Homo-oligomer: A and B are copies of this chain.
Amino acid sequence: MSRRDISEFTIRRLSLYLRSLRELREAGTEVVSSRQLADGSGTTPAQVRKDLSLFGSFGKRGRGYQVRELLETLESILGLDRQWRVALVGAGKIGRALLGYADLERRGFRVAAAFDTDPEKIGTSHYGVTVRALEELEETLRAEQVEMGIIATPPAAAQDTATRLVEAGVTGILNFAPVKVDVPPEVTLRGVDVVLELEGLSFALTSDVAGGSRREPGSAAGG
C-alpha cells in the first residue's frame, strides 16, 4: 500500500489517537479499547479499528490495545520516531509565536533556522533561535539538513518563499500565509488559514440556504 493512498483525514485521526495514547501512558494506563480511542478523537470504534487495520493487525477483539506498543507503532507510522529539522521563514507575530511553542520540539519538530528580510529582526533571538537574513536561506538549509519549511511571511512573499524552500531541498511545507502557493507534486503542502476556518464557522452559523441566497447572475431577481 502506498502512503499516497491514505487520506489526510485518516492521518489526522492517527494523530488524535496518538495524542490520546500519550495521555494514557502518562496516566499509567496499560490497555485501551477502540471505544476509548474513539471518544478521545471524536470518531467511532469501528473507524478506529478500520484506520489501524490499514497498517497491520493490532489488538484482539474484546481485549483492547496495549497502550505503549500501539503508541510506538503509531509514532513509527507517522514518522515521529525521529526528529525533523524545520526552517521558519518570517519572524513576524505568527512566526515568533511558533518559535515560542514548546510543543513543537517535544513532538519531534526542531526549528533549526529562522529567516526574515527586516533588518530590525535579523540577528534577534527568540527562544534560542536566531533570525537570519533571507539571503542565507539556501546555504543554511543545506548546512542544517532542513527537510520541512514553515511559511509565515506576508502573502506577497509566500510563493517566492515556497519556491526557494523547495529549491533548497525542503519536501514538506506548512503555509501560514493566507494565499495559495504552488509546489511541485513531490512536495507535500499543508496550509493553516485562520480566515478560512472562521469562514467555515460563518457558513455553519448562517441559517439554511433559502431563496434569498440563491441568485442567478444576470437575472434581476434577488438583487
Q: Is the interface of A mostly helix, strand, loop or mixed?
A: mixed
Binds B, one of A104-112, A116-124, A134-142: A104-112
CB-based contact A190/B195 at 8 Å:
no
In the assembled complex, the CB of A121 is this many whole angstroms from the nearest CB of chain B, namely 15
A199 closest partner in B (C-beta): B15
Report chain B residues within 8 Å CB of A195.
15, 103-104, 107, 109
In the assembled complex, the CB of A145 is this many whole angstroms from the nearest CB of chain B, namely 13
CB-based contact B199/A11 at 8 Å:
yes
Report chain B residues within 8 Å CB of A96.
93, 97
CA distance A190 to B205 in the complex (A): 12
Q: Does A188 reach chain B (CB closer than 8 Å)? A: yes
Report chain B residues within 8 Å CB of A100.
93
Q: Does A214 reach chain B (CB closer than 8 Å)? A: yes
CB-based contact A200/B40 at 8 Å:
no
Which 9 pairs, one residue from A and one from B, show the smallest C-beta to C-beta distance?
A79-B206, A172-B201, A56-B214, A188-B204, A93-B97, A69-B217, A79-B202, A66-B217, A15-B199
